[in-house]
Structure 1
Amino acid sequence: MDRTEITSLDELVEVVGVPIPHVAKKQRPRLDPVDVQWISHSPFLLISTSAADGSCDVSPKGDPRGFVQVLDDRTLAVPERPGNRRVDGYRNVLSNPHVGLIFLVPGRNDTLRVNGTARLVRDAPYFDDMVVKGHRPVLALEVDVAEVFYHCAKAFLRSDLWKPETWEPDALPPRAAIAAALERPDMTRAELDRYYGPEYATRLYQDSMPQPS
């Protein structure tokens, strides 16, 4: 492949330039009341982590809006619900506590970034405030805030992410077909169709994985 690689910071700056002063210094060390309000309206975030060896993970987390608890202006907690049990991000946190979070609010093109260090908590009094449909979280990721700032809207505007008229979900194979081809050779397509069918949404807070019959 014929390419010209960037291998130094000087080369990178030559290509992209330098940020204007207010952008370069926009990060803050604690949550502002506006940030707390944003988090209270966010039903979805992405958590980035990396292991001690540098391998990386980004995990989506979602629940009713406001599911992330702001414990104070330097600490927040993200509940964990039953999932596939890989817990790649949590494994990373045990060896490297540095994390990055991006909070999304549907319909908003800007996003909130929080960087900090994290720890895993198996129980705490605030777990009672994280109950959804009768289910307490199985653990929580507590994050000590180091940096807070907002990303501008350009990525969302370029992608038309929130415009339904641009969506083409049926252009891709359904989830059951992907699982059959790549993940669950032990299950039939009919079994996977049933598992990922209408009842899938009723099991969101149950600790269950599809098993072959």
Structure 2
Amino acid sequence: MATEAELRAIVKEPPQTIWDKDIARIDAHARTIIAHSPFVLLATSNSDGTCDVSPRGDPAGSVLVLDDHRLVLADRPGNQRLDSLRNVLRNPHAGLLFIVPGMNETLRVNGRATLVSDAPFFDDLVVQNKRPRLAILIDVEELYMHCAKAFLRASLWKPETWPDRKSLPTLGQIAKDQMGIKGVPAKVIDAGLALDSKMNRY
């Protein structure tokens, strides 16, 4: 398949209301969802089109809405690869997916990202007395609600459908196998990862 016409031969054009739901601004409803969302997925791509999606978590209300067209999220300490931030430097287009626990609908935001190292709003990004060194400012170009179908199909919020955590490998086990770490038990790696997460959350 190489053209949109071929694609539309399989999936028909949606009704106009589906296009009209993009309001391209942060209205009162979007503000409410953003204020209650502790978890957002940030999608970016490099100048060559290489894509990346990064999970971002903070207490609900930590993403700031500056006005009807701008929002900002802090960049908290991570693995220091800076995949998302390096992408933004090369290609400012970014997408956000806001998730609220227990809510099957999600809020989709697309726009242009800018990296900021200081601004008056940094004082409002402080969590646990830690001020971020960097923030990501998004100029909103598209904003719309995404329906519940995906979350309903996944039964995401139903604990009875969740796998037994013991049936899944730990991150230490995964790192040991994928990176070929020799001479260090997985439980030691897990302990180190747990301590790092606890000590360097902010």
Q: State the TM-score bracket (shorter-chain normalisation).
A: over 0.9
Question: Is the partner of 1:15 in helix, strand or coil?
Answer: coil
Residue 135 of structure 1 contacts residue 205 of structure 1 at CA under 8 Å; is this kept in 2?
A: no
Matched, 1:97 2:88: no
Q: Does residue 188 of the first structure (1) align with residue 184 of the second (2)? A: yes
SS in 2 for 1:157: helix
The 1:173–1:143 alpha-carbon spacing in structure 2 relative to 1, beyond 3 Å, is: same
Q: 1:106-117 alignment to 2 at 5 Å? A: 106-117=101-112
Alignment of 1:1-213 (within 5 A): 6-168=1-163, 169-183=165-179, 185=181, 188-189=184-185, 190-197=187-194, 199=195, 201-205=197-201
TM-score by length of 2: 0.94
Cα separation, 2, equivalents of 1:45 and 1:187: 37
2:117–2:135 CA contact under 8 A, matched in 1: yes
Output the TM-score relative to the length of structure 1: 0.89
Aligned with 1:16: secondary structure? Answer: coil
Structure 1: gaps (5+ residues): 1-5, 207-213
Distance 1:42 1:179, change over 3 A: same
Identity rate, percent: 48
Unaligned runs of 5+ in 2: none
Structure 2 SS opposite 1:91: helix
1: CA distance between counterparts of 2:126 and 2:89?
Answer: 25
What do the CA deviations read for 1:70-112 (whole angstroms, capped 9, x no partner)? 1111000010111100111111110110001000000000000
